[in-house]
Structure 1
Amino acid sequence: MKTKHSYCNPEAEVRGGYSVSAQMKQVWNIQLNMLVRLMEVCDKYGLKVTLDSGSLLGAVRHQGFIPWDDDIDVDMPRSDYDKLVAVATKEFTGPFRFQCAYTEEGYYRSHAQLRCDDTAMIIPTEGQRGYDFHQGIFIDIFPTDGIPDNPEERVRLTAEAERVQEFLWMRRYPLHRVLHGWCYRKLRVELGEKAEWEDRRLFSYFEDLFRQYPPEETSTCGHLSLSLSRLKRSMKSFGWYDEVIYIPFEGIQAPVPRMHHEVLERLYGKDYMKPCKAPSMHGEVIIDVERSYTVYLPALRLSYVGVVFMALRNKVGQWLRKSGWRKGR
């Protein structure tokens, strides 16, 4: 059994003019069970967690999922997030697995995820690149950090973070770097001796970049570990998260900031209560509630090898033509 409870109606239905399939309802129920388990752990250790982004919008506007959404996003203060990471392997055992750079090799996202065993929720480009971490159905857990007031400091921090993170992905996965060898070599030079550090040490340095601005030193917060462009759209006030309340989300009561209006207006504008269908942040995903992600990865990787081969062939052909070794046709 992947889930203990069915929190929302498992049947296909039309919500607000949008068709929600029975399969997506199964996905939602798995994710709701993961959210409930996360809330139990956070309550046990006195950790603050709230719905975030589209899940917060869904809770306020739809009392549940946005009809076209495919995951759950939650937000935690960095200090509480670190405490959760410290107890994760003890608290999360099958079928739900806590996934971060310290619990699973080859995973370098700046946030954690809960994954469900024996399911699949694969972003195709990641499967194609050879990523070998758990790729079951997930929910996202984002740490919130203080943001420096100085815009130049924000640029410096995000640029250094992007260098470290991209280097980690490239170092681990050959298919990820095969077409960008020049970039990998450039990153090695820029990181200097850090390029020789083992993964956990380098990722710890990556996270320490974001711990430099605790709440008592700045009034602004956000997901500093995201790209600079996404950060600019999501900067919020720490004060908005001072108090947590619970509101309906499908069949459960979910935690949200009391000042959720201010948060949503900052993220989505003044008319956030007006539905506007948007594509998933994850693009097209491969979803299976019955079979493991491991069933799909070999074919995805094979397809990418073919793409890489053709791209390299074209690059070699271009080089030969430019160098005069071969006439263009």
Structure 2
Amino acid sequence: MRDTLRTRVRLVGATMAVSIALLVAVESALAHEEYVVDGERDVAVGEFLAESLTDPFVVGPLLAGAVLVLVGIAGYLVVPPVERDVGAFRAAMGEYRSYVPWLLRISFGIPLIGAGFGGYFISPAVHVQARLLQVALGFLLLFGFATRVVALLTLGCYLIGVVVRPILLLQLEFVGGMLAIALIGSGRPSADHVLQRVAGTPGTLYGRLDIVHDRARVFQERIREYRTLVPTIVRLGLGSTFVSLGLGQKILRPGIGLAVVDKYELTTVVPASPELWVLGAGLAEIGLGLALVGGFFTRASAASAIGVFSLTLFALPDDPVLAHVGLFGLASVLLITGSGPYAIDRRLEPVETEEPADAVPEAA
């Protein structure tokens, strides 16, 4: 039992270490081309924070928003106003657990295919022709063929890409997404599931030729108990992405955020200063990311993340939607699974039980 717990802690620790290392590298990403702006304002971080945090029209709304959030959380914990509704929602979402592997596969397979045909490498900010590689990986994920191997290959390509072009940190969700797929497998519908069934049927010609089937079954049995960690890995991946975007693209690089506010005239949409727009968005993304990493109100945080993505897509008409499909997928997975192990939610709601790993159909 102790060995199992130790192994789980090491797996979660390794995932966190990868995410944190990539997050720290945001500060050293020197050559940034952004999705929707060609340049950025020449604004120093210290100057921006000094001016913003001494302006009552910036600090006031931020404090008011923080107080409203805290009051809402405290009110829910003390007097749950929609307890039956929340319970019914969890039960309904739990019925979709078997679709989690498929949801993850299409959420990252489609963006990979789009990147290949779009002439960029994973992120629209990296204009590199890698059509054959990305289309092949994307289609293999979509079909669910050699899924775990393909996920690890994709993760390897991404990490190599980050070393060469740190701006790929804009797509940090690929770390959590590929690790989750590598752990949970292909599920069904998938080519892996079909081939496994054929190979496992006595007397089939394919079963005699397939040299992978038996080894795959042994491997699946060994990692079965760790598949409950998938929600934890998804939380870390999605939360780290939010923190990196809020910190690296707004707080530490306010010139980018200010350029976006100028380009789309966002101050006419909501009559607030550009500094409030940038600082508010950055702090909100960091707060939401930390809530996801910690597993605090996970389903509500995931729903808020989907709201943020949707609002961004409507507010920025030329934003590359395809690049964000992975984020939508990770947030949708958390709506289905909840927080998983190692989460604050487990302390707040100890009566909520996790679905066993066998609830998700296994495939290679």
Question: TM class by shorter-chain length?
Answer: under 0.3
Pick 1 or 2: higher relative contact order, CA cutoff 8 A, min separation 6.
2
**TM-score (norm: length of structure 2):** 0.23
Structure with bigger helix share is 2
